[in-house]
Structure 1
Amino acid sequence: MKQDPPIFIRVIDGRLILWDYRSHSQYEIEEEHVRRILAISRNQETSESQIDSDIIRSGIFDDDSRDFKKWGWDCLSHIFHLGTQIVLEEGADLPNDDSYEGYIKYCTSIIDKVPETKYAREGESLSLPAPNKKYRKGTGLYDVLMARQTSRSFNSSPIPLQTVANSLYWTFGAVHGDMRQDMLDAGLVPVGYRRTSPSGGSLQPSEAYLVALNIEGLTAGIYHYRAFSHELTLITTKIDGEKLGKLLCAQMFAKDLAYGIFVTSRFDKMWWKYPHSRAYRVALLDIGCLAQTFQLVTTELGLGSWLTSYFLDREVNKLLEVDEMRESVLFFLGAGMGDGTPFAPQALQTIERMLEEQRQNQREG
């Protein structure tokens, strides 16, 4: 599809640096490169010159199945949207290495650079009354708040469909009805509906796609949750635990989840009311509120929960069959039965192996 190249150019230390934010590549260029990029974008034929060859080889003019012209905000948010995606190289297989060795080595390499985590603004401080740890304990909220924690160890036990339905409804459902009766009563045109979490403009741009893995009475697959009617629509059955783990950038412990939820944002909903790209922040905040609600709800239901934004964006969007210029996955929520530990078993095994190797080297040294 012929369209403008997904690039921007910055001046850094007196040099021209071209960024291809689709492929996450950077190139140092000269003024002649800029002139030729402009000419080629205006449909001028390419020559056999070195500059033209370099430009074509960079891939900035390669076809793309997505129609970038559908994007409803400005180029700033488009750069963020594409430039922060995790890209699977052309022809590459989905990753399946879950050893965590690279991640552990990276964490070890930066341990001496831990920033100050206790942030205090300068100025006179005002002491607050001690928190009442029995606050609303009779309602169970206290116990849920104290019990909530991230879990990364699951045992693939199946769970009842009723439990999943409860978590979907109390997180994403139209719990106050499928329209804003309060707006109508106030003499306003009712727009949207209300969930248990706040949403900018009551637009509810976040959509839930249930990834069913081990749910009693429900065929494994990916379903769209119809929040306003509390129903599911099957999207695909081409999913299992192994594939899910690979899509989540080899976080293979996810294969033992009972279910997960890919949360997308309907950008086209927001373009109607909020034409400025700052609204992309609202989309992220919307999902953040829902994610916390999901963790509290699943904790109350006796499930372990886990959240991640580490996944292969384009591959997930293809699986969900969405037009990612109008709707795109931004977060993943997972839940299931397990021992509740926040540490992935594979990570603990890798740490133990690396420590044993270190001890062995010390004995031999």
Structure 2
Amino acid sequence: MSQLNRYSLAPDLIITYVDGKPKLHLPSVKRTFEVDWKVCELISMITSDSKSLKSLFIEETELKIIDQLFKNGILIDKQASQNSKIKQMVMEWQDWDESSWFLHLQTKNTKFETTEEGRIQNVEKFRETASSPPQYFKCNCSSSSISLPLSTKLSDQTLINSFMQRRTCRRFSGNPISLQDLADVLFYTGGILFTNDTHSYGTVAKNSSPSPGGRHATELYTMVNACEGLKNGSYHYCQKHHALHLIEEEENIRPFLNEVLYGQDYFLDAAVTVFYTSVLNRLKWKYKTSKVYRLMHLETGHYAQNFLLTGSALNLGVFVTAAFKDSLIEKKLGICGINEVAMYVSGIGHSVPDKATRSDIEYAKIVPEDVEIRLPIGEHS
């Protein structure tokens, strides 16, 4: 027991129990150790103030275990731990709880093969062991399908206008948008442009939004509140066939949106609200590294940016939010929350015309001349 006084636990040590077996995780070095539960009890003695705790091992065995724990970085010298960069991160990130720094450390500096020789070897190995690729889209068109109009060219807008007009809208009129507008937004957000066969990874889809490895794990679900030609309710967008599948008709979706968006009532009058999900098996099939958990969030961000810019190009109000109740989305859409998870929420609709001027606006000096910028909503009397 006296030997333990020399050490402290690694600041990033996480202990999990899978199938009743304890595992020690050190995300900073990406190492996992499966141990006996008695070893965990020995570890717990380090942080205990009780003087009456007795080791479960004879002294010789205890010293050997302590030595192994120290060599593997689970125990560290107390003096060395005071200046630990990992400890500093754990302390400074504690407002975000353990999941934040654990994920960051676990996915930091993940190795990716960059040499041509290494890539060829990895592809050959993958080809030998991989199963058939999962389908790159979700389709319910055989049970019901609502075809959407073909997308338009948005020819009266330039990219710079979309950038300048993109502003989070918190005042929607509630007026319906056209089915054409919805079709354009969905297509340029997640519609499939073309597919092609690859030598090792099966058929891949190419969208206007980028995706890690062309896996396109993102699915789009629309909550229709006011759209010409559509009943109110929840739909799934089939990216393959550019069509909608009605999940549930619901005349008034505002109560659900109010609850799922934690009372962000300024979004309730949007004509259409879109839920983004990620189908994990599409990514896990190709990538075995936890860093892909970062990439699936980035992919969703790419999709959402296309949504916002397309909506702005159509001169509609747009918004995006990450404040939502995952479990309610899962229940509404009928997804499990394990193989398909909720990721993001955005919406579109007609904004309330704003006549008020803002006195606190200071334009950046680098903004191009003669470009109209959509400003924040002014104060109304």
Displacement of 1:232 = 1.0
Task: Give the deviation of 1:191 after TM superposition.
Answer: 2.6
The whole-number CA distance in structure 1 between the counterparts of 2:319 and 2:189 is 15
2:254 matches 1:236: no
Higher RCO (CA 8 Å, separation ≥ 6 residues): 1
Partner residue of 2:216 out of 204, 219, 243:
204
Note if 1:169 corresponds to 2:169.
no
Which residue of 1 is the match for residue 313 of structure 2? 300
What letter matches 2:288 in structure 1? Answer: P
C-alpha offsets along residues 111-142 of structure 1, whole Å, 9 cap, x if unaligned? xxxxxxxxxxxxxxxxxxxxxxxxxx997112
Structure 1 SS opposite 2:347: strand
* SS of aligned partner of 2:172: coil
Provide the rounded CA distance (Å) in 2 between the counterparts of 1:189 and 1:19.
34
Query: One-letter code of the match for 1:150?
Result: T
Q: How does 1:68-79 map to 2 (within 5 A)?
A: none
| Matching residue of 2:279 | 266
- Counterpart for residue 351 of structure 2: 338
Find the counterpart in structure 1 of residue 141 from structure 2: none
Gap change, CA 1:19 and 1:241, over 3 Å in 2: farther
User: Deviations along 1:167-206, whole A, 9 cap, x unmatched?
Assistant: 10111101x22x22xx55xx66643211111110100001
Cα offset, 1:340, TM superposition: 7.0
Assess if the C-alpha contact under 8 Å between 1:246 and 1:252 holds in 2.
no
Contact 1:152 1:340 in 2 (8 A): no
TM-score relative to the length of structure 1: 0.55
Structure 1 spans left out of the alignment, 5+ residues: 1-9, 21-30, 36-75, 81-136, 353-365
Aligned residue for 1:263, secondary structure, equals strand
Q: Which letter does structure 2 place at the counterpart of 1:311?
A: F
Bigger mean CA deviation after superposition, 236-245 or 209-218: 236-245
Helix, strand or coil for the counterpart of 1:295? Answer: helix
| 1:84-119: CA deviation from partner (whole Å, max 9, x where unpaired) | xxxxxxxxxxxxxxxxxxxxxxxxxxxxxxxxxxxx
Gaps of 5+ in 2: 1-7, 18-36, 42-98, 104-154, 355-374
Q: In 2, Cα distance between the equivalents of 1:344 and 1:313?
A: 30
Structure 1 ranges of 4+ moved more than 4 A:
10-13, 16-20, 187-190, 340-345
- Residue of structure 2 aligned with 1:319, choices 315, 332, 342: 332
CA distance in 1, matches of 2:262, 2:326: 10
Q: 1:344 to 1:207 in 2, by over 3 A?
A: farther
Indicate conservation of the 8 Å contact 2:217/2:282, yes or no. Answer: yes
Structure 2 counterpart SS, 1:159 = coil
1:172–1:290 CA contact under 8 A, matched in 2? yes
Residue correspondence of structure 1 range 118-133 to structure 2 within 5 A: none
Partners of 1:267 and 1:327 within 8 A in 2: yes
Instruction: Tell me which residue corresponds to 1:146.
Output: 164
Equivalences for residues 1-365 of structure 1 within 5 A: 140-174=158-192, 176-177=193-194, 179-180=195-196, 183=197, 190-238=202-250, 240-339=253-352
The structure whose Rg is larger is 2
| Contact 2:167–2:376 under 8 Å retained in 1 | no
Change (3 A) 1:276 1:147: same
Question: How big is the shift at 1:236?
Answer: 2.1
Equivalent pairs: percent with the same residue? 29
Q: How many Å apart are 1:313 and its aligned residue?
A: 0.8
Cα 1:207–1:263, aligned 2, differ >3 Å: closer, same or farther? same
RMSD: 3.8
Verify the 8 A CA contact 1:191 1:203 in the aligned structure 2: no
* Counterpart AA for 2:269: D
Task: Give the TM-score normalised by structure 2.
Answer: 0.53
Give CA-to-partner distance per residue, 1:229-255, whole Å, 9 cap, x none.
101112223561122022101101221
Residues 344 and 219 of structure 1: is their aligned pair in 2 closer, same or farther, counting only changes over 3 Å?
farther
Cα distance in 1 between the residues matched to 2:353 and 2:294: 32
Q: Which amino acid aligns with 1:193?
A: A
Q: Count matched residues.
A: 228
